[in-house]
């Protein structure tokens, strides 16, 4: 079966609807301008992958509870705060085809709205005594910011090894999905061991997800041209890292030169892409992605059968098969 997000969501359709309503009330404020902006944020919501992970892992761990909603909301509020800050960070004027909050209301407001959303998430947890959730999520926030900073530091020197790459994507991407799954298990009321198993499951999916994402940079864009954005931004990802490790000293020097100095030139970017493809970098990255995929399924196999489990298996499948 080709995995499809609507089908995957079927066992938690009611919960997802309820969640959306609750989430709106969690964001309410006394300041009009703020409600105006958060209303705008709610409207342009994405695939809702994070709440989906929370509810499905709660289901597979024994059952969705009231605290699963608060856990999903905590993550979503923190994640939204991060997105709003990211818009400032990237000087992004668009997100998901809409104007970013940043473009519309300027940096100042974007930073403050981010801080506000964050404080709402904290209060939601603190006021309800969800301290286990808070711990899981705070760790994820720390790892995410450390991971992004590590990537920036390394990108300057273009000296990323495979190990550093795995550290970066584990912190930057996998830690949030891991947190979603740990929160799901924790709100189902299982013990620390099972929470840790679910956290690991999420981490594996997260790793596979990011490698897939990095592979897209070598795919074709909407008009059929290779993308190459990561190369332009001097972001070293697995296909390139593998190709450089295999390359001769001379070849490596040439490619690094192109990335460092000619990264704005379309022809040079294409040369780097061709070099990666010829070195088997794409196949290697795919094999690593598949290993994480297998490991995620292995962890999941230990859980009792249920409709949630079927959906989680499909979600793992979706992660590595998605087209964008």
Size of the site for a second copy (CB under 8 A): 45
Q: How far is the CB of 45 from a second copy (least distance, A)?
A: 21
Of 17 and 91, nearer to a second copy (C-beta) is 91
Residues 83-112 that bind a second copy (CB under 8 A): 85-86, 88-91, 107-109, 111-112
Of 145 and 287, nearer to a second copy (C-beta) is 145
**Residue 222 interacting with a second copy (CB under 8 A):** no
CB 261 within 8 A of CB 218: no
Contact map string, positions 43 to 62, toward a second copy, x by CB under 8 A = --------------------
DSSP state of 226: B
- Own/partner long-range contacts of 145-154 (Cβ < 8 Å, ≥24 apart): 146/171, 147/171, 147/172, 147/173, 147/175, 148/172, 151/235, 154/236
- DSSP-derived pairing of the beta strands 94-95 and 98-99: antiparallel
**Residue 6 interacting with a second copy (CB under 8 A):** no
- Collapse the DSSP code of 252 into the 3-class scheme (helix H, G, I; strand E, B; otherwise coil) and give the result: helix
Of 5 and 150, nearer to a second copy (C-beta) is 150
Cα separation, 323 vs 297, whole angstroms: 21
Residues 120-149 that bind a second copy (CB under 8 A): 120, 122-123, 126-127, 129, 131, 134-135, 138-139, 141-142, 144-146, 148-149
Specify the stretch interacting with a second copy by CB under 8 A; choose among 116-124, 183-191, 196-204, 308-316: 116-124
CB 55 within 8 A of CB 75: no
**Residue 270 interacting with a second copy (CB under 8 A):** no
Cα separation, 180 vs 74, whole angstroms: 10
Q: Give the burial class of 141: count Cβ atoms within 10 A of its Cβ; 0-12 exposed, 13-18 middle, 19 or more buried.
A: middle
Of 20 and 115, nearer to a second copy (C-beta) is 115
Cα separation, 55 vs 180, whole angstroms: 9
Please report, as ranges, the residues that interact with a second copy according to CB under 8 A. Answer: 29-34, 82, 85-86, 88-91, 107-109, 111-116, 118-120, 122-123, 126-127, 129, 131, 134-135, 138-139, 141-142, 144-146, 148-150, 152-153
């Amino acid at each position: 079966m080709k995995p499809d997000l609507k089908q995957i969501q079927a066992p938690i359709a009611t919960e997802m609807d309820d969640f959306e309503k609750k989430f709106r009330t969690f964001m309410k404020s006394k300041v009009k301008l703020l409600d105006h902006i958060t209303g705008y944020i709610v409207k342009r919501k994405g695939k809702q992958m994070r709440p989906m992970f929370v509810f499905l892992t709660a289901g597979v761990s024994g059952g969705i509870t009231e605290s699963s909603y608060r856990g999903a909301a905590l993550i979503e509020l923190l994640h939204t705060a991060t997105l709003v800050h990211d818009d400032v960070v990237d000087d992004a004027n668009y997100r998901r085809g809409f104007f970013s909050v940043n473009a519309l209301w300027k940096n100042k407001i974007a930073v403050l709205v981010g801080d506000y959303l964050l404080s709402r998430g904290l209060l939601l947890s603190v006021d309800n005594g969800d301290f286990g959730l808070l711990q899981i999520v705070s760790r994820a926030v720390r790892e995410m910011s450390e991971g992004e900073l590590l990537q920036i530091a390394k990108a300057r020197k273009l000296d990323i090894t495979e190990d550093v790459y795995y550290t970066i994507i584990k912190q930057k991407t996998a830690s949030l999905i891991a947190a979603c799954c740990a929160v799901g298990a924790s709100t189902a009321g299982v013990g620390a061991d099972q929470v840790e198993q679910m956290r690991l499951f999420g981490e594996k999916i997260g790793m596979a997800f990011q490698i897939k994402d990095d592979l897209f940079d070598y795919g074709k864009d909407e008009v059929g041209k290779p993308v190459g954005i990561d190369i332009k931004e001097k972001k070293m990802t697995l296909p390139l890292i593998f190709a450089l490790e295999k390359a001769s000293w001379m070849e490596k020097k040439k490619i690094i030169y192109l990335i460092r100095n000619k990264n704005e030139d379309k022809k040079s970017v294409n040369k780097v892409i061709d070099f990666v493809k010829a070195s088997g970098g794409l196949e290697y990255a795919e094999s690593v992605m598949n290993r994480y995929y297998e490991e995620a399924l292995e962890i999941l196999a230990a859980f009792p059968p249920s409709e949630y489990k079927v959906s989680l298996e499909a979600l793992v499948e979706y992660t590595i098969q998605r087209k964008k």
